[in-house]
Structure 1
Amino acid sequence: MSMLTNNRKQRWLLPVVLGFIMLAVVLGAFLG
């Protein structure tokens, strides 16, 4: 049960982190 919850959390976290990095790169290119 604990492993399932952890796996689901990681699956949700990965796209958020990737999106955040992409946003930072786009903002950096836009401002820089």
Structure 2
Amino acid sequence: MGSKLKGPCSERSSIGDSYHSPPHHMPTKRLQ
């Protein structure tokens, strides 16, 4: 299940989506 979110999330954070990532994008914060 987690891998499902990690897939798209990881790619998005790569383009810098983590800046305006939604609350459900908690994993993105860990990357910062």
The alignment's TM-score, normalised by the length of structure 2, stands at: 0.42
Q: Hey, which of these two has a bigger chunk of helix by percent?
A: 1
Structure ranking higher on relative contact order (CA contacts 8 Å, 6+ apart): 2
* TM-score with structure 1 setting the length: 0.42
